[in-house]
Amino acid sequence: MIRKLGVDCSESDRIQFVHDWVKLCASGKTVEAFDLLDSPLDTTRHTWTPEDFREVTFDHFDDEKFPTVTDPETVEGTIRKDTFEYNDGSGWGLEFDLPLNGIVSDFTLMFDFIKVGGELKVIMDDCHVM
Protein backbone atom coordinates (compact mmCIF):
# COMPACT_ATOMS: atom_id res chain seq x y z
CA MET A 1 0.00 0.00 0.00
CA ILE A 2 1.22 3.46 -0.83
CA ARG A 3 1.53 5.69 2.20
CA LYS A 4 0.86 9.42 2.29
CA LEU A 5 4.08 11.41 2.50
CA GLY A 6 4.78 14.17 5.00
CA VAL A 7 6.60 17.45 4.41
CA ASP A 8 9.70 15.95 6.01
CA CYS A 9 9.94 13.08 3.49
CA SER A 10 13.24 12.30 1.81
CA GLU A 11 14.15 12.29 -1.86
CA SER A 12 14.10 8.48 -1.79
CA ASP A 13 10.59 8.57 -0.26
CA ARG A 14 9.34 10.71 -3.15
CA ILE A 15 10.97 8.44 -5.74
CA GLN A 16 9.49 5.38 -4.02
CA PHE A 17 6.04 6.99 -4.01
CA VAL A 18 6.10 7.48 -7.79
CA HIS A 19 7.62 4.01 -8.31
CA ASP A 20 4.78 2.48 -6.26
CA TRP A 21 2.22 4.68 -8.04
CA VAL A 22 3.38 3.37 -11.44
CA LYS A 23 3.39 -0.16 -10.05
CA LEU A 24 -0.24 0.32 -8.94
CA CYS A 25 -1.16 1.48 -12.46
CA ALA A 26 0.64 -1.56 -13.91
CA SER A 27 -1.44 -3.84 -11.69
CA GLY A 28 -4.61 -2.49 -13.34
CA LYS A 29 -5.53 -0.16 -10.48
CA THR A 30 -5.19 3.12 -12.36
CA VAL A 31 -8.30 4.65 -10.79
CA GLU A 32 -6.99 3.85 -7.32
CA ALA A 33 -3.61 5.33 -8.25
CA PHE A 34 -5.19 8.60 -9.39
CA ASP A 35 -7.29 8.70 -6.22
CA LEU A 36 -4.02 9.04 -4.28
CA LEU A 37 -3.17 12.30 -6.06
CA ASP A 38 -4.16 15.83 -5.15
CA SER A 39 -5.63 18.44 -7.48
CA PRO A 40 -3.34 21.22 -8.71
CA LEU A 41 -3.20 24.19 -6.37
CA ASP A 42 -3.48 26.51 -9.38
CA THR A 43 -7.04 25.98 -10.64
CA THR A 44 -6.00 26.97 -14.16
CA ARG A 45 -3.81 23.83 -14.34
CA HIS A 46 -5.13 20.58 -15.78
CA THR A 47 -6.19 17.84 -13.36
CA TRP A 48 -5.06 14.53 -14.84
CA THR A 49 -7.50 11.61 -14.91
CA PRO A 50 -7.06 7.93 -15.76
CA GLU A 51 -8.77 8.63 -19.09
CA ASP A 52 -6.30 11.42 -19.94
CA PHE A 53 -3.42 9.14 -19.01
CA ARG A 54 -4.74 6.40 -21.29
CA GLU A 55 -5.49 8.72 -24.22
CA VAL A 56 -2.13 10.52 -24.19
CA THR A 57 -0.26 7.21 -24.54
CA PHE A 58 -2.44 5.86 -27.39
CA ASP A 59 -0.48 4.78 -30.48
CA HIS A 60 2.86 5.52 -28.81
CA PHE A 61 4.37 2.48 -30.50
CA ASP A 62 2.75 3.30 -33.89
CA ASP A 63 0.41 0.33 -33.55
CA GLU A 64 -2.89 2.17 -32.99
CA LYS A 65 -3.23 0.51 -29.58
CA PHE A 66 -3.22 1.56 -25.97
CA PRO A 67 0.08 0.46 -24.40
CA THR A 68 0.25 -1.34 -21.08
CA VAL A 69 1.93 0.31 -18.11
CA THR A 70 4.71 -2.01 -16.95
CA ASP A 71 5.78 -2.72 -13.38
CA PRO A 72 8.98 -0.67 -12.94
CA GLU A 73 10.63 -3.67 -11.26
CA THR A 74 10.30 -5.81 -14.39
CA VAL A 75 11.08 -3.29 -17.13
CA GLU A 76 13.99 -3.63 -19.54
CA GLY A 77 16.28 -0.62 -19.30
CA THR A 78 17.00 2.01 -16.69
CA ILE A 79 14.20 4.29 -15.55
CA ARG A 80 15.29 7.91 -15.23
CA LYS A 81 14.25 9.47 -11.90
CA ASP A 82 15.26 13.13 -11.78
CA THR A 83 14.38 15.15 -8.70
CA PHE A 84 14.81 18.81 -7.91
CA GLU A 85 13.84 21.29 -5.23
CA TYR A 86 11.87 24.40 -6.18
CA ASN A 87 13.82 27.64 -5.72
CA ASP A 88 11.03 29.17 -3.63
CA GLY A 89 11.22 26.32 -1.09
CA SER A 90 7.61 25.26 -1.75
CA GLY A 91 8.50 21.64 -2.47
CA TRP A 92 10.01 19.36 -5.07
CA GLY A 93 9.53 18.10 -8.60
CA LEU A 94 10.19 14.63 -9.91
CA GLU A 95 10.50 13.40 -13.50
CA PHE A 96 10.06 9.64 -13.89
CA ASP A 97 10.28 7.64 -17.13
CA LEU A 98 7.04 5.76 -17.71
CA PRO A 99 7.57 2.07 -18.49
CA LEU A 100 5.21 0.83 -21.21
CA ASN A 101 4.93 -2.56 -22.91
CA GLY A 102 7.90 -3.91 -20.97
CA ILE A 103 10.40 -1.16 -21.82
CA VAL A 104 11.31 2.33 -20.70
CA SER A 105 9.25 4.53 -23.01
CA ASP A 106 9.82 8.10 -24.19
CA PHE A 107 7.06 9.26 -21.85
CA THR A 108 7.96 11.21 -18.75
CA LEU A 109 5.69 11.57 -15.76
CA MET A 110 6.10 14.87 -13.94
CA PHE A 111 5.03 15.05 -10.31
CA ASP A 112 4.95 18.00 -7.91
CA PHE A 113 5.34 17.51 -4.16
CA ILE A 114 4.13 20.80 -2.71
CA LYS A 115 4.21 21.80 0.97
CA VAL A 116 0.93 23.36 2.10
CA GLY A 117 0.94 24.11 5.79
CA GLY A 118 1.95 20.88 7.48
CA GLU A 119 0.76 18.73 4.59
CA LEU A 120 2.42 17.53 1.38
CA LYS A 121 0.30 17.66 -1.77
CA VAL A 122 1.23 15.16 -4.50
CA ILE A 123 0.17 16.37 -7.94
CA MET A 124 0.68 14.79 -11.36
CA ASP A 125 1.74 17.83 -13.35
CA ASP A 126 2.21 16.24 -16.77
CA CYS A 127 2.74 13.13 -18.86
CA HIS A 128 4.52 13.84 -22.11
CA VAL A 129 7.09 12.55 -24.58
CA MET A 130 10.56 13.92 -23.89
Check residue 66 and give its pLDDT. Answer: 85
The mean pLDDT of 92-120, rounded to a whole number, is 94
HSE-up (13 A, CA, CB side) for residue 116: 12
The tens digit of pLDDT for each residue in 35-94 reads: 999 999 998 888 999 988 888 776 666 788 888 899 999 998 899 999 999 999 999 999
Q: How many CB atoms lie within 10 A of CB 74?
A: 10
Q: Tell whether the torsion through CA atoms of 98, 45, 122 and 83 is positive or negative.
A: positive
**Residue 33's Cα: distance from chain center in Å?**
9
Check residue 130 and give its pLDDT. Answer: 65
